[in-house]
Structure 1
Amino acid sequence: MAEHHPSDGDVASVSDLVKRYGGGSTAVTALDGVSLALRRGEFAAIMGPSGSGKSTLMHIMAGLDAASSGVVRLGGVDITGLDDAGLTELRRRRVGFVFQSFNLLPTLDGLGNVLLPFELDGRRPTGEERAWIDRLIDQLGLSNRLDHRPGQLSGGQQQRVAIARALATRPEVVFADEPTGNLDSRTGREVLGLLADASTQHGQSIAMVTHDPVAASYADRILFLADGRIVRDSTRLRPEEIATFMLSIEAQR
């Protein structure tokens, strides 16, 4: 695989990334010299067997975890030396997150959760941003659920609120960790379609960790990890092609 060097079109990148846990003879290397860049408007799926380092890679790229060595950039900014305050502000302004466990605030209703990034940034949405949020809410079928708290919503509805929240500020990059893991197949397809639209129609970059070949087939780029290294960097593939390659990785372990 040809190494990709960071450029002005990259919204997130890592160079020679290493992540180790523990020390001495018990040290575990989760990532072993990974270099990659996520380009503007790209929808990338990150796949690999359990323990391959895919979630660790995403968390480091998003600034949620620190690298042992290497360089991590978000929006052209080297975040490896940023303090917690600087990192928090950068994430809030440039990054959206979608987690498998939703991570909604139980005390806020649906709309309050969607608008939370603005609240944390100490401002209200502009008229243009509010129109975008209204469109998101409509696309996600949430219009009649906005006054419900998370505990009153189904898993699929909670995930749609989480996605609306992640996209509300139009962040440059959205990191999604198994976003369809708790959803039925129909809701999962809707969520994947929305993420794909955010990429193709609005130029947002999506990095999605998934174990599901069908989910990965929605992405226009698929990164396969095994034992902390990228073993394949591919353009769009069909679900059966993805499944076959994943089986070949498992067979070599």
Structure 2
Amino acid sequence: MTHNRTDNGLVARVENLTKSYGSGSNLVTALEGVSLGITAGEFTAIMGPSGSGKSTLMHISAGLDSPTTGRVWVGDTEITSMNDSELTVLRRRRIGFVFQAFNLVPTLDVEGNILLPFELDGRRPTGDERAWIDQLIESLGLRERLSHRPHELSGGQQQRVAIARALGMRPDLVFADEPTGNLDSRTGREVLTLLRTASSTYGQSIAMVTHDPVAASYADRIVILADGRVVEELGRSTPDEISSLMLSLEGAS
């Protein structure tokens, strides 16, 4: 399947993005003039202190929230002017999500949760898609768990199901929001390794919001926000390098 990437190799981008809440003396600016591209096939971490705008940036990039000003593209599709139903279809077909809280449907078994995006799209997976899903199930160690409900799984297993669900339709882009936030450190490392493998082996584009320098060290590229602006970009870095940069930024603000 060809991914909807633009000529410049970007799978998503935002231009001069501003997001404000409230008005007058209660005006809060979450993002201020952010321009950023997410490169196809790359694992990007978006970092920043609490209140830096990183979650707002992700929500707007994924069409879950709209900007006050600025423009947003997924591939070559500008989504800024789309209505809710168009955005719903775009998210369902072209964007995958992995959340801190797993967000599995408790009444569905593992297989039902993995196939949910196809169900919502009103279709069954094609032969190629089914083969890909089987490969995901195998590589994520879920083969023996397919008939289990989420409450019968550990946190790490639930997050693997969420990853399989996010990758099943081969979306243009997967957004991961603090995906290891509810996991112990060993399980968290396994989940981060899976995300990195999805990017390096299968060419999956991933944008992960995190405040954790260890999680960010798995990414190819690290974008750091502070006070609603992009203040720094790094290539692959160690947790210590990321920590010291974050500390220096917090000292400066």
TM-score (norm 1): 0.96
Aligned to 2:251: 251
Code of the aligned partner of 2:179:
P
1: CA distance, partners of 2:240 / 2:63: 33
Q: CA RMSD in A?
A: 1.1
The Cα of 1:8 is off from its aligned counterpart by 4.0
Tell me if structure 1 keeps the 8 A contact 2:166–2:174: yes
SS of 2:143's equivalent in the other structure is coil
Aligned residue for 1:45?
Answer: 45
Partner of 2:80: 80
**Which residue in 1 is equivalent to 2:100?**
100
Residue identity in the other structure for 2:90: L
Aligned residue in 2 for 1:183? 183
Counterpart of 2:192 in structure 1: which amino acid? L
Structure 2 contact 98–163 (Cα < 8 Å) conserved: yes
Alpha carbons 2:156, 2:191 under 8 Å: kept: no
Equivalent in the alignment of 1:69: 69
Distance 1:166 1:97 in 2: 5
Residue 218 (structure 1) aligned with residue 227 (structure 2): no
Total equivalences in the alignment: 248
User: Hey, what does 1:171 align to over in structure 2?
Assistant: 171
The question of whether the paired residues in 2 share the 8 Å contact of 1:180 and 1:188 is answered with: yes
Give the distance between the partners of 1:191 and 1:197, measured in 2 at CA.
10
SS in 2 for 1:180: coil
Farther-moved stretch of structure 1 (44-53 vs 138-147): 138-147
The amino acid of 1:245's aligned partner reads L
Q: Please tell me whether the aligned partners of residues 8 and 76 of structure 1 are also in contact (alpha carbons under 8 angstroms).
A: no
Which amino acid in structure 2 is aligned with residue 218 of structure 1?
Answer: Y
Alpha-carbon separation, structure 2, partners of 1:28 and 1:57: 15
Instruction: Report the secondary structure of 1:218's partner residue.
Output: coil
What residue is the counterpart of 2:139 in the other structure?
A: 139
Please say if residues 46 and 225 of structure 1, whose CA atoms lie closer than 8 Å, have aligned partners that are also in contact.
yes
Match of 2:144, SS state, is coil
Q: Assess if the C-alpha contact under 8 Å between 1:75 and 1:94 holds in 2.
A: no
- Matching of residue 235 in structure 1 with residue 231 in structure 2: no
Corresponding residue number in structure 2 for 1:123: 123
Structure 2 residue matching 1:161: 3-state secondary structure: helix
Shift, 1:154, TM fit: 1.4
2:31 maps to what in 1? 31
Alpha-carbon distance in structure 2 between the residues aligned to 1:129 and 1:251: 49
1:230 alignment partner, SS class: strand
- TM-score normalised to structure 2 length: 0.96
1:161-210 Cα distance to aligned partner (Å, 9 max, x none): 10110001111100000001111222211211111111122221100001
State how far apart, in whole Å, the 2-side matches of 1:136 and 1:189 are: 18
What corresponds to 2:57 in structure 1?
Answer: 57
| 1:75-130 C-alpha deviation (Å, 9 max, x unpaired) | 21111100111111111111000000111111101110000001011111111111
Provide the rounded CA distance (Å) in 2 between the counterparts of 1:44 and 1:37.
Answer: 10
| Superposed CA offset, 1:232-251 (max 9, x none) | 01111111000000111111
How many Å separate the matches in 1 of 2:172 and 2:15? 20
Aligned to 1:205: 205
Secondary structure of the 1:14 match is strand
- Which stretches of structure 1, 4 residues or longer, exceed 6 Å deviation after superposition? none
Q: Distance in 2 between matches of 1:201 and 1:140?
A: 14
- Which ranges of structure 2 fall in alignment gaps of 5 or more residues? 1-5
Determine what percentage of the aligned residue pairs are the same residue: 69
Q: In structure 1, the residue corresponding to 2:17 is in which secondary structure?
A: strand
Q: State the alpha-carbon separation in 2 of the partners of residues 8 and 123 from structure 1.
A: 32
- Shift of residue 31 of structure 1? 0.3
